[in-house]
Structure 1
């Protein structure tokens, strides 16, 4: 009877970079060295970093992780756990990242922090203004966010 494959859990994935955790083999440097060597031979894998102490495997890749996981299972390195893993890789990779909205959220959080410290004027108010402007909450009559250079200057 063949030995059961170690189960790898997807911890984080973004295009070209995925982190797996294999907790059942945590603390096994021989396993992780052989895993790094094996994964490095796969087409589309640029770099593999392992940490036996934490059971972490970081894969830099040019191909979808699903293909790498399938190949790893075929050569009996590990099996990627899928049950209850949350959103699929495709769904996670498709999430839009709006940098303007991220900046607005950051300024909003800083505004709350400053207000909590009692630094309302000018610190919290200025940060809140920046957050509102970036998020599009503050719109002038021409339909442009203040200070974004739009409109005809009237």
Structure 2
């Protein structure tokens, strides 16, 4: 029997599913995390059996990912009427096609790398101004995340 999941929250490249009927079942969440991790387009899985939730970071289309999960018998998914969809700065940053920006000159710029470089400069600037906590470390953390994302998309 396939478990029924509900989409709780999603942005481009990330979705959180809630599987109420399997709440507390650590073995199930360990197994489903491993099976999702085998998908070529899933970068990271994070399961929490206590809350019955599963977070996935992926590339590509959410509908394709969920369709494949249903075909493989992992779970069936329904959108919750109260599910949140972010279309803010994070969604714009992670969204679009993830490809490079084409300049007028015809060269390409990798958005993720450029965002990481900009945040790195801001973080170092904050450190020189003596603002170590939290501005500098927060910005440096975001820069690291942007560099990791740029590296994964190469």
TM norm structure 2: 0.53
Task: List structure 1 segments (4+ residues) > 4 angstroms apart after TM superposition.
Answer: none
SS at match of 2:81: coil
TM norm structure 1: 0.53
Q: How does 1:1-154 map to 2 (within 5 A)?
A: 3=1, 5-82=2-79, 85=81, 92=85, 95=87, 97=89
> CA distance change for structure 1 residues 86 and 39 in 2, over 3 Å: closer, same or farther?
same
Q: Which has the higher strand share?
A: 2
Per-residue CA distance 1:10-40 (angstroms, 9 max, x = gap)? 1110111111100010000111011001101
Report which structure shows greater RCO (CA 8 Å, sep ≥6). 2
SS at match of 2:15: strand
SS at match of 1:63: coil
Q: Which whole-Å CA distance do the structure 2 matches of 1:67 and 1:17 have between them? A: 13
1:65 to partner: Cα distance:
1.6
SS at match of 1:69: helix
1:86 to partner: Cα distance:
5.5
Gaps of at least 5 residues in structure 2 are 90-154
Q: Which whole-Å CA distance do the structure 1 matches of 2:29 and 2:88 have between them? A: 34
Q: Which whole-Å CA distance do the structure 2 matches of 1:28 and 1:79 have between them? A: 17
Partner of 1:121 in structure 2? none
